[in-house]
A and B are shown apart, each in its own frame.
Chain A
């Protein structure tokens, strides 16, 4: 196991701050967010160093907005984004990452609907659970489309400039490290 350095801890804090500030800054626009963008970029650059950032981000969100049902959805959605990004990390195409990011936006409601299967099933069996989750998903589809389109264009516009800046900064920051 790699030894945790002061630089690593500083990097965690910086990543967390960037994600939180971006989220807050865009919170007035429903379903337009930079969280997915930053998780993808940070996973591409800092790989496993994203691991402590995601639970910290989710915990802070819970503390700020309350631990509602959505909080449990965050517990698996954002780690899933990081994991999928890690699996495709060799890809450098802006089109690929724009499509990747948009797919998560389009499927966000679908992924979020899973807890409703359990809630509905507790009320009246698994069939009720599936109906409840499906109805909930359908009710939010228009916003999923906004989310997916937003994610696509944000990645398309920001990927190249942010990659350039992050590359420069990470070379400087981790000049003493080979990874």
Chain B
């Protein structure tokens, strides 16, 4: 009888990770940023370390910022792929590496700090992004 109770308790424990996965998947499905289909006009401004600004305007069907940036003529960027998408370290040839000197490229959407990485930051028609060298 005791052995059977112990056995049941052990298997009951397995419900914890199963329940956690269910909760995590639900949160992910409900709250993950969702892109918007259709044509959009997006503005991207790059402010470099000398506070000089270059502004680009792009017409796109892209749903997330990374694709908009890739489609923007004249804008170049690169970085390190991570589990949160691309961590941008180089924009228009200028490097900002937090591990080297505490500098980074800050991303703003309509003057508010972006809450997502560029791979998951949704874009809507008329959005204005700012990519600013910050130290």
Please give the residue numbers on chain A whose beta carbons come within 8 Å of chain B beta carbons, in ascending order. Answer: 30-31, 65-66, 68, 93, 95-96, 99, 102-103, 106-107, 120, 123-124, 128, 131-132, 134-136, 138-145, 148-149, 152
B32 at the interface (CB under 8 A from A): yes
**Distance (whole angstroms) from the CB of B83 to the closest CB of chain A:** 4
Please give the residue numbers on chain B whose beta carbons come within 8 Å of chain A beta carbons, in ascending order. Answer: 10-11, 13-14, 16-17, 20-21, 24-25, 27-28, 31-33, 83-85, 98-99, 112-113, 115-117, 120
Query: For A132, what are the chain B residues with a Cβ–Cβ distance below 8 Å?
Result: 113, 115
A142-B10 Cα distance, complex, nearest whole Å:
26
Query: For B16, what are the chain A residues with a Cβ–Cβ distance below 8 Å?
Result: 99, 103
Query: For B21, what are the chain A residues with a Cβ–Cβ distance below 8 Å?
Result: 106, 145, 148-149
Per a CB cutoff under 8 Å, which of B14, B20, B28, B99 touches A138? Answer: B28
- Ordered by A's residue number, 27 sampled pairs between the chains whose C-beta atoms are within 8 Å are A30-B83, A66-B99, A95-B13, A95-B14, A96-B13, A99-B17, A102-B20, A103-B17, A103-B20, A106-B17, A106-B21, A107-B20, A123-B113, A124-B112, A132-B113, A134-B31, A135-B33, A136-B115, A138-B27, A138-B28, A138-B32, A139-B32, A139-B84, A139-B117, A141-B24, A142-B28, A145-B25
**Distance (whole angstroms) from the CB of B96 to the closest CB of chain A:** 14
